[in-house]
Structure 1
Amino acid sequence: MVFIDEEGTTIQASVLNKSLHDKFRHKIIEGQIYKFANFEVTLNVNQYRATIHPFKITFTCRTFSVEDIATIPSYAYSFYPISEILKIDYRHPVDNLIDMLAFLKDVGTLDEFQRENETKYRLRLLLADSKNNDVECTLFDNCASDAYMAYLQNTETLLWF
């Protein structure tokens, strides 16, 4: 999850304990505003980071939330041009997820594979900008299968990101 505060600052939030998933799954609704208490704050040093914030929030069994009324931005984007993405290499990696605007240039096939006795899905997309720079993007699992089904059912140009 990515939370946004009243200043538009984003921070990654996670429910790592699988036994707590049901506790929070239906209590936190995208687009609603909440106050949270009794969570852990740790350094955001994972391999895959959802935000550039140096810290992240982890929910515990003592974490609780209440709905709130406040003025919070609905979205917080920091768009990254494809031309800059193409400059990235192993010596200068981007260590967080990025936002970008792009046209859907090509859609691969939905690949199914096994990992740890689970069926997983992968979908490769080719995204392009108005200057014809393009970059490959890979979606996984439900995101991949949902996007592919939407693609198959829609004959018009799709915008996903």
Structure 2
Amino acid sequence: MSTMNNISELKPFKSMWKVKVKIIRLWKQYSAAGGETIEMVFVDSRGDKIHGTVKKDEVGQFAHVLQQGQTKLLINFTVTHSSGSYRTTKHPYKVVFLPTTRVRICEALPYNMTGLEPVNYRAVLNGKLDPDFLVVVEVSHIEVVSVNGKDTQKISVELRDTEDERLPLVL
């Protein structure tokens, strides 16, 4: 099992995979059905991306070894179909950590491996993009501000398209 795989090679019905990936996005998510999970987007040295998830039963095992921006060697995980709306990558599958998954430190992938694929505003406005896939933007931390004497949450977003046109937003 010493062979390194590329993200493009990953497919279901096998768990003895080994990939070197950079965690380009990481967040915790909670749902009543699935509990707390760790969700990630990985990129490999070829720029291919895939979504990854750590289910609630394994969160405690992996939370301390997974950090956004780090490169890791992932060994022994499963690959399942990725479906539904609001998908983070166009890859047809996603990585799912197992209790036996190993996460190893390894040499970092280049800093500029962001996995971002800018899109043109017109493509968004004209509806030419598949609405099942998310378009990643730069997002600030949530701030708590006082509005009319009441605390409310504020987040700043800056959209930037392929021509470097910028559109600042506050939500």
The total of aligned residue pairs comes to 120
Residue number in structure 2 paired with 1:27: 65
Give CA deviations for 1:21-43 in whole Å, capped at 9, x if unaligned: 12111101222221111211012
- Structure 1 distance, partners of 2:168, 2:123, is 11
Match of 2:132 among 92, 95, 98: 95
Provide the alpha-carbon RMSD of the alignment.
3.6
TM-score by length of 1: 0.58
- Structure 2 distance, partners of 1:70, 1:81, is 30
Q: Any idea what SS the aligned residue of 1:26 has?
A: helix
1:132 is displaced (CA, Å) by 8.5
- Structure 1 distance, partners of 2:63, 2:78, is 18
User: Which stretches of structure 1, 4 residues or longer, exceed 4 Å deviation after superposition?
Assistant: 121-138
Gapped runs of 5+ residues in structure 2? 1-39, 139-143, 146-151
- Structure 1 distance, partners of 2:114, 2:157, is 25
Q: Which has more helix, going by share of residues?
A: 1
Q: Contact between 1:82 and 1:135, CA under 8 Å: does it hold in 2? A: no
TM-score by length of 2: 0.55
The share of aligned pairs that are identical, in percent, is 24
Gapped runs of 5+ residues in structure 1? 102-108, 111-120, 139-161
